Copies of this chain bind each other. A is one copy, B any other.
Amino acid sequence: MLDQALSQKLRQIVGENYYRDDREALVAHSYDGTPMLQSLPDGVIYPDNTQQVAEIIKHLAEHRVPVVTRGSGTNLSGGTVPVHGGVVMVMHRMNRILDIDLQNLTATVQPGILTGDFITHIESLGLFYPPDPSSMRISTIGGNIAECSGGLRGLKYGTTKDYVIGLEAVLASGEIIRTGGKLMKDVAGYDLTKLLVGSEGTLAVITEATLKLVPPPKSKKTMIAMYKDLYGAARTVSRIIEAKMIPATLEFMDNPTIRVVDDYAKLGLKRDMDAILLIEQDGDPEAVERDIERIREICESEKADQIEVAKNQEHAEKLLTARRSAFTALARLRPTTILEDATVPRSQIAEMVLRINEIAQKYNVTIATFGHAGDGNLHPTATTDARDADEIHRVELAFEEIFEAAIELGGTITGEHGVGMVKAPYLEWKIGKTGIEIMRGIKQAFDPHNLLNPGKMFANESRKRVVLNRA
């Protein structure tokens, strides 16, 4: 519990109803989308505007109370768990679209708007905001910015970072800064905008964002290809890119995922397939037709067992269902689902999937893999049971080895979920001791008392690297 003078002050700032420290509020904000992590905050606050955020932060800083800023808490790396207690600041009330500028093709929004709602509005204006994290119906733009969320369209259109061109943020001191603007070019000093994107709430509280919009593609086409041979699927991915086509979507599911999805969604998928690719191209109709035709040829020459091109929107939706239901289908199998996002150069996808399977077998755990093949961002997903300490330990060892394999193949420990608590012990594997020191220095420059989302990104101790012994 905060001391009473401080909680009194917080109530004055936001109004009686918008600061809560009742048990229900505390429990509801003690966890996020990450399994097996929970920690009670001391209070929960719901600011309505930037000025309130600044005042809240100022008072919390005076009392050295940590603050964890969050939207919907869909985080998968423990990024919004208040592990050091303090106040959870929920941004849902700050959910307005402040400006849509059709001449400059920008939108300025508050962080609490749901990404799906924002996209729906933007599309109703005939415009396009490409970042499409799978969580987008419930996650917020602010959360997407904090994590630099990716999505299915990342390969062709980039991730959240590529669309954030200006920010307003409250610093650890309570001061307000503005970075960037409605500008496609701005090199006035270090790029604080891109630095804050993906900083996981550890550097500042984002209170407003200016986003770049683009013209929407005129048409889209969807297809799937199924393979008995994993390498055939992997070669298809590489050959599409080598043929100088960048599909809008290029998704992958492995055999364990295919079987679970088919059980769940009854799509009549071939259960003996090693891999399915879901491919979409968008753009001008002629170009889309031509690309899809060439992609079909590549799939055929790589001996795809079955290829299906959607005849219409309804058919496309059916094909998309397979990929979209992967997580839900897997989550039904066992009490606990742990979704990871080890990422490799796209040329290493087949190798990585094979390694994941080897590792799962070695530790006798169930891991299904699906994900964004086009950008090498895989989601190895363990279905397990948090109550079985022994199995959970083996799952952890398996993921540790999966991270190590990703690094070894030129990849990274996280492609779009963030470091948070879960991957903090592994960050050094990717960026080295020196990289950690530099990042700690940046953190220090922004947040000298370590009050903004403490306990995230930086581990007390880095994990020792496993020595991989493969014959």
Contacts and interface: CB of A to CB of B under 8 A. Distances in A.
Interface in A341-370: 343-347
A254 interface: no
Nearest to A429: B188
A195 interface: yes
A435 interface: yes
Interface string A174-201: 0111110111111111111011011100
Interface in A91-135: 101-106, 126-127
Contacts of A86: none
A277 to B, nearest CB: 16
A419 B101 contact: no
A410 B181 contact: yes
A183 B446 contact: no
A465 B188 CA distance: 17
A65 interface: no
B147 A187 contact: yes
Interface residues of A, number: 91
Given A178-B432, A188-B427, A192-B435, A343 B183 contact: yes
A189 B430 contact: yes
A214 interface: yes
Given A104-B345, A441-B445, 6 more contacts: A183-B344, A187-B415, A188-B427, A190-B203, A192-B438, A438-B446
Q: Which 10 A-B pairs have the closest CB atoms?
A: A441-B445, A215-B244, A185-B415, A103-B347, A184-B375, A182-B345, A194-B194, A188-B430, A186-B412, A103-B238
26 contacts: A102-B242, A103-B238, A103-B346, A104-B241, A104-B347, A147-B187, A159-B185, A161-B191, A171-B438, A173-B434, A177-B434, A181-B412, A183-B345, A185-B377, A185-B415, A186-B414, A187-B198, A187-B414, A187-B417, A188-B423, A188-B430, A189-B430, A189-B439, A191-B195, A283-B284, A442-B445
